[in-house]
Chains A and B, each alone.
Chain A
Amino acid sequence: MSSLAEITVALGDAVEDSFEKGSDDDVDTWVRVKTSAWRDAASTLREKLDYDYFCFLSAIDWLPSPYGRGEEDPTAERAAIDSTIRQGYTGGATRMQVFARLVNHRTHHGVTLKADVPDDSLTIDSWVGVFAGANWHERETHEMFGISFAGHPDLRNMYLPTDFEGHPLRKDFPLLARIVKPWPGIVDVEPLPGGSDEEGEAE
């Protein structure tokens, strides 16, 4: 039985969607579980299928940045930015998603678990009871994205000062350096003079 099939059976109706990439012996798996099943999914994978190595936990903010890529002239009128939220692999319904990676250290197969974080409460269960190593990762995610983890012992800031306002890795948190001054690195992708090889090949 393939790894994905095993996972789907073990997690049962907690699975919202799944995705697989790669060839036979080198396959990477994504599974999105229900928000309410986030913690149980981790313990099921750990207990039943030996996914005992905790790799990382973090979050993605799927809102396209309202500031663009910071490469435009700041004095010019800003072009309209499409702010429709499109989630990546395994889809989703919310702006924020948490994702984490677990690996079976015997078969070396890894799975990326994802879950939606409800927009109104921005809270999801903590993994600390399942993987002690999730502690710091959840603290980091909390300060960078403002997501709360129910059951986490101590969601203090890891990097930022205690009274810091805002959540830097959210897309609507501006990177001020780019707004004050356009990024000079943009010249890197201008076509070379004297050549019309816009889609040209490197030598």
Chain B
Amino acid sequence: MTMLGDRQQLAYIASQAADARVNVELETEGMTLNIGPQHPATHGTLRIIARLDGEQVVWAEPSCGYMHRGYEKLAEVRTFPQVTALVNRIDWLGSFANEVPFILAAEELMGIEAPPRAQWIRTILFELSRIANVSLFLGDLGVQLGAITPVFFAFRDREYVLNLIEGATGGRFHPNFDRIGGLKDDLPAGFIDETRVVMRKMRKFCDEIEGLLFGNEIFEARTRGIGVIPRDLALQYGLSGANLRGSGVDWDLRRDQKLPMAWDKVDWKVWTHPDGDSYARCWIRLQEVRESTLIVEKLLDSLPSGPVMAKVPRIIKVPEGEAWVSTENPLGEMGYYVVSKGELGPFRVKIRSASFNNISIVPWLLKGVYVPDIITILASLYFILGDIDR
């Protein structure tokens, strides 16, 4: 409650007291509301069971598993290079970013490192997936709160980024482009100039969304002070990405972790917000898209030349050992705990996906909120079903 101003706090207490009085007078009966699994506002097959008292949620519980595909089991019968095709489909809006931590974990176990140019291109494609992913979030956010226009802008402008990813990798959604030791191919001709143009377009898109949504009074009323996550609870639940930074924790794995990637080669800023409410989370994502476009431009300026593939045996056997590698994906911390027994494939892969942790706070967070705020809170936590169920 420390995030609210005095006046807000008083208003909050007054409204709670009024509700309590009404409930005592009317003796309201509880009702169970089932949201999903098929519901336009849940973008995926997440089902929320909420018990209501009037308009207020007394108890809520998400029910997952409508999309569980068992990637941890499947990975145990694949070879290392084959696993990337699976993990691509975890967070399908930013697929390339899913491949990177797994490949880095395998490289760590093998003791090899991708050549500088490959590291740069990896980082560029990683940031492009973030832009594609989060720009869709920004549009979707509008739809969920009742504004139709932003989503058209988002789908229109995301297409430019997807075209870039397709141009470089051959796949719009499932690039499967990262290889142990480097990348499948170098960048195509014209990619750099085209990317600069698109990055400028994306910054314009951010300005448009900022004007449409973040300056909008209704949007502020629907998101300010809604779904406040205190800082230590965010850490306890293992929230990550914008959800954690929205609660005032200055932590970004791109900056705070040593990885053979190119983020530490350029200057950029980690955005945080002290409020911890839905508005803070959305605002941070908007800033991060902007920041990502700048990162991409700076990386293009300093793109080194050279090969994109290290010397790697054609039949990849990963030495015995265990490795944990995580990266700051569009949705938050995505990591793989890879156990190898020196065979062609992994012995065990634990996939730590961001949305699973981010959504696990929902039962706590939905207690006491009003029905329309369920949608705001779910939208602002931003999850992707494939990333919860894996």
Contacts and interface: CB of A to CB of B under 8 A. Distances in A.
Contact of A159 (B64, B256, B258, B313): B64
A52 B82 contact: no
Interface string B32-75: 00000000000000000000000000000000110010101110
B70 A168 contact: yes
B287 interface: no
A53 B314 contact: no
Interface string A191-202: 000000111111
A54 B73 CA distance: 24
A58 B217 CA distance: 44
B330 interface: no
A112 B237 contact: no
Contact of B348 (A60, A112, A135, A136): A60
Given A25-B258, A189-B79, A132 B364 contact: yes
A58 B258 contact: no
A55 B78 contact: no
B360 interface: yes
Contacts of B76: 65, 69, 175
B233 interface: yes
Contacts of B65: 157-160
A94 B137 CA distance: 45
B305 interface: no
Nearest to B325: A28
A132 B237 contact: yes
A183 B82 CA distance: 12
A92 interface: no
B322 interface: yes
B63 to A, nearest CB: 9
A52 B258 contact: no
B335 interface: yes
A55 B335 contact: yes
A152 interface: no
A70 B236 CA distance: 39
A77 to B, nearest CB: 20
A108 B335 contact: no
B322 A105 contact: no
Interface string B299-329: 0000000000101111100001110101000
Most chain B CB inside 10 Å of its own CB: which residue of A56, A99, A160: A56
A159 B71 CA distance: 13
Interface in B216-238: 232-233, 235-238
A89 B357 contact: no
A61 B335 CA distance: 20
Contact of A105 (B70, B235, B257, B324): B235
A191 B312 CA distance: 15
Nearest to A186: B79
A188 interface: yes
B236 A132 contact: yes
B79 A188 contact: yes
B322 to A, nearest CB: 5
A203 B321 contact: no
A133 B79 contact: no
B322 A88 contact: yes
18 contacts: A52-B236, A55-B335, A69-B344, A70-B77, A105-B251, A108-B251, A108-B256, A131-B236, A132-B236, A133-B236, A136-B360, A159-B65, A168-B73, A189-B79, A201-B311, A201-B312, A201-B313, A203-B309
4 shortest A-B CB distances, which residue pairs?
Answer: A159-B65, A133-B237, A26-B258, A159-B68
Interface of B: 64-65, 68, 70, 72-74, 76-79, 81-82, 181, 232-233, 235-238, 249, 251, 256-258, 309, 311-315, 320-322, 324, 326, 333, 335, 337, 339, 341, 343-345, 348, 350, 352, 356-357, 360-361, 364, 389
Given A54-B236, A175-B77, A201-B312, 13 more contacts: A25-B258, A52-B235, A56-B350, A56-B352, A69-B77, A108-B251, A108-B256, A108-B257, A110-B324, A132-B364, A133-B357, A185-B79, A201-B313
Interface of A: 25-26, 28, 30, 52-56, 58, 60-61, 64-65, 69-71, 86, 88-89, 99, 101, 105, 108, 110, 112, 131-133, 135-137, 144, 157-160, 168-169, 173, 175, 178, 183, 185, 188-189, 197-203
